[in-house]
């Protein structure tokens, strides 16, 4: 069915992207350095780890939930990766006298540990009917406490070069961290569209009662969603560590809110059932490009927060319109 082009619909559907494109064009005219290799590199690195968080949280949002524990899980993931990957000769080494671990093995350990915490969150949500908001809130506190006890609140540093090189070394002009996030996006797309799990996730988001009647294993699917999301947060923590060359317990604080906002800006509906991988990608890009553009335009750093809030209002109001009008 060929749909007629409708300017109003076009603005409602692509308004946010349009604003983003215009802003990028405007900023690159006003400030020559905006399109420099160094800056684009930096923006890409910012996007990469945040995209991984958003893709994790997108699963929770699609099932009409949320995940407040994401930020603290990132902190934990970053710290675990940190202690495992410190140089042997680093003076204030966390594990005195050990050898740095294989980087891939360290990553797997990080993701498995955070996934375990995610499984617990999901168990409380699915089997004990604790609302996601509360279950993930509780896990947020627990994970933070564990991280404080574990690291004694000491900042970590002195990473092996193979770890930090993930942010600097490039393959085909693109930093390795960015490649990681691209791989995660592809895997997410595959899970969302090509597996039972993904289809069940959308069904639960659309109508959990109907999904159950149709034979969807609702509880198991919910646990898997939160476990998978937590594994992604662990990975994101690992990536932040590589990018900044260090980690502390406060790494990731508040990132869950940014990720939820990015998802919704891109079109993942908080009422459940709607949202794609591309929604998360668009949302994160809009967010990060906006931040960078405002910085380059010399907007007061504190006022930038206001701009972000305004964008969320506009984007979500437009997004909700799409669905409300259809009823």
Interface with another protein (CB under 8 A): 1, 194-197, 199-200, 202-203, 206-207, 209-217, 269, 272-274, 323, 326-327
The CA distance from 129 to 122, in Å, is: 10
Contacts of 248 (CB under 8 A, 6+ apart): 75, 79, 151, 153, 154, 155, 156
How far is Cα of residue 229 from the mean position of the Cα atoms in its chain? 9
Sign of CA dihedral 161, 115, 181, 25: negative
Residue 270 vs 307, nearer CB to another protein: 270
Report in angstroms how near the CB of residue 4 gets to another protein at its nearest.
14
Of 200 and 255, CB closest to another protein: 200
- State how far the Cα of 185 lies from the Cα of 246, in Å rounded to an integer: 25
- In the complex, minimum distance from the CB of residue 264 to another protein, in angstroms, rounded to a whole number: 15
Grouping H, G, I as helix, E, B as strand and the rest as coil, residue 157 is: coil
Nearer to another protein, 228 or 243 (CB): 228
Nearest distance from residue 160's CB to another protein, in Å? 35
Chain centroid to Cα 8, Å, comes to 31
Q: Which is nearer to another protein, 203 or 292 (CB)?
A: 203
How far apart are CB 289 and another protein at their closest, in Å? 29
Min dist. Cβ of residue 210 to another protein (A): 5
Cα 174 to chain centroid distance, Å, stands at 20
- Closest approach of Cβ 275 to another protein, in Å? 10
Cβ distance to another protein smaller for residue 140 or 211: 211
Would you say 119 or 207 has its CB closer to another protein?
Answer: 207
Instruction: Identify which of 236, 76, 66, 205 has the alpha carbon closest to the alpha carbon of residue 136.
Output: 66
Per the CB < 8 A criterion, the answer to whether 71 and 253 are in contact is yes
């Amino acid at each position: 069915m060929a749909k007629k082009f409708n300017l109003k619909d076009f603005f409602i559907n692509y308004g946010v992207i349009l604003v983003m494109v215009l802003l990028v064009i405007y900023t690159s005219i006003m400030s020559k350095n905006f399109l420099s290799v160094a800056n684009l590199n930096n923006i890409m690195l910012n996007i990469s780890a945040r995209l991984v968080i958003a893709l994790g949280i997108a699963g929770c949002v699609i099932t009409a939930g949320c995940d407040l524990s994401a930020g603290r899980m990132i902190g934990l993931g970053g710290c675990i990766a940190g202690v495992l990957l410190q140089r042997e000769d680093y003076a204030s080494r966390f594990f005195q006298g050990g050898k740095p671990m294989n980087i891939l093995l360290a990553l797997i350990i990080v993701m498995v540990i955070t996934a375990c915490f995610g499984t617990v969150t999901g168990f409380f949500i699915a089997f004990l009917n604790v609302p996601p908001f509360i279950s993930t809130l509780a896990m947020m506190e627990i994970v933070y406490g564990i991280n404080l006890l574990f690291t004694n609140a000491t900042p970590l540093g002195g990473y092996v070069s193979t770890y930090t090189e993930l942010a600097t070394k490039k393959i085909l002009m693109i930093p390795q961290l960015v490649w990681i996030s691209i791989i995660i996006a592809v895997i997410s797309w595959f899970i969302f569209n090509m597996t039972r799990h993904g289809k069940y996730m959308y069904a639960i988001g659309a109508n959990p009662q109907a999904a159950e009647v149709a034979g969807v294993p609702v509880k198991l699917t919910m646990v898997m969603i939160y476990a998978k999301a937590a594994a992604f947060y662990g990975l994101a923590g690992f990536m932040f560590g590589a990018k900044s060359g260090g980690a502390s317990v406060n790494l990731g604080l508040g990132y869950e809110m940014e990720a939820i906002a990015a998802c919704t800006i891109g079109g993942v509906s908080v009422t459940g059932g709607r949202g794609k991988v591309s929604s998360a990608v668009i949302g994160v890009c809009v967010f990060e490009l906006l931040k960078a553009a405002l910085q380059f335009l010399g907007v007061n750093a504190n006022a930038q927060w206001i701009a972000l809030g305004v964008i969320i209002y506009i984007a979500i109001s437009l997004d909700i319109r799409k669905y409300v009008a259809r009823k």
